[in-house]
Amino acid sequence: MKARWSKPRPWDALQSFKLKFTDCKWNELDPNDTIYHHMPPVTSLDLTLPSGLEVDTIDDDWIKLYIPSQFLVNLSTLELTCDWHPASILTTLQSCTSLQNLTVALRGNPDLSFKRETLDGPLPEDGLLLPRLRTLRLRYAAVSNISEILDIVNTPSLEELDVNFEMLDDGIKSTISGFDEDILDLIERSKCNLRRLKIHMAVFSDSEELKTILKNLPSLTHLLLNNTIFDLEIFRDLRCNEILPHLKVFEIFDCPTSDNRKLDMLCQFSEVYVRWSFGKGLEIIREERPDRAMKKLYVTLREPVPLDFDRLEHSGVKFRRLDGMEVRFCSIPHDTWPPPHLIDNDY
């Protein structure tokens, strides 16, 4: 169906558009008869669709997403909250050849599958190409869905990967396994230069996987681990190796620990990135590692037992006084929600 307006409309000048559908009966079964033909030609779209588990349909089949390719090709930013037919989601993304920023929220729908063999048609051997994509954010997605999506996309311009796993019943975080292979396979397939990695709401079944990821991403400038459980002892080995030489921002939020020795490892790891060497009384002995100066260090730890923060607090003062580093350390009781870093910041 062609748009009914032949003359320019006032809203055709819009650059961004946010559209949210509430629960309703969905009866769009024909791609040629869809409301999206009447959308203004925006470059930024924030689209929230009703849950596929709750919306009423004419039949019992999967709800499919029909957005004209001539509309999608203009998008540079897309935020899509949708747990409808996986093939139609990927078909939608396939038309977004100008996309630079993509956020996909899947609501943790357990029935979704993005495996290649479940799709309507074959994908290119090298994956679903998003040639200009710089930022990829996956929100509230099952572990299997995140693995499948990372296995499908090809993102040669990708700089930031931001993954938020679904929260299970009773606040239980998702346990992930093989995530190191998912990320490193994506990097190898795409030949991209990943600079920012953010992981939320996850439990590493094997902390060696996180260590493997960090050892193989020397281009990282920003690392965020939020509500992510792993063994802090990995920082012992990471400190001894020449890894993450360009790291500027390190944020670790809400990581439980009951071992002050492991907390000290985190501090020692951070000290590797200080530009100066210090003598007694914090006088500067010599300048070294001029290219390895971290700009921000944020740490929030959840306390199963009281922790000794003296070492961290002392280092924080040192960084602020002599290196211009922005440092923030705090601990929170185990039953505090939301964590302090989530009150004023959107992660």
Report the percentage of the chain scoring pLDDT > 90: 35
d(CA 68, CA 2): 11
Q: Would 242 be classed as within a structural domain?
A: yes
Q: What confidence category does residue 340 fall into, taking pLDDT thresholds of 50, 70 and 90?
A: very low
**Co-location of 211 and 237 in the same domain:** no
> Which letter does DSSP use for residue 6 in this model?
-
> How far is it, in rounded angstroms, from Cα 273 to Cα 291?
9
Of 151 and 14, the structure prediction assigns the larger pLDDT to: 151
Query: How many whole angstroms separate alpha carbon 205 and alpha carbon 177?
Result: 6
Q: Is residue 15 part of a domain?
A: yes
Residue 286 included in any domain: yes
Considering the domain architecture, whether residues 134 and 249 belong to the same structural domain is answered as no
pLDDT digits (tens, 9 = 90+) for 111-141: 788 887 766 667 778 889 999 999 999 999 9
211: CATH: 3.80.10
Give the C-alpha separation, 86 to 43, whole Å: 23
- 37 in the same domain as 61: yes
Residues 236 and 194 in one domain: no
Same domain, 17 and 140: yes
Please tell me the total count of domains within the chain.
Answer: 2
What 3-state class would DSSP assign to 14? Answer: coil
145 with 251, same domain: the answer is: no
How close are the terminal C-alpha atoms of the chain, in Å? 40
What is the pairing mode between strands 77-81 and 160-165? unpaired
Domain boundary among 170, 190, 219: 219
6 or 221: whose pLDDT is higher? 221
Answer yes or no: is 226 within a domain. no
* Residue ranges making up the domain that contains 335: 231-347
Task: Round the CA-based radius of gyration of the chain to a whole number and report it.
Answer: 23
| 269-286 residues labelled b (16+ CB within 10 A) or e (exposed) | bbbbbbbbeeeeeeeeee
Answer yes or no: is pLDDT of 89 > 60.
yes
Which of 219, 252, 278 is the last residue before a domain boundary?
Answer: 219
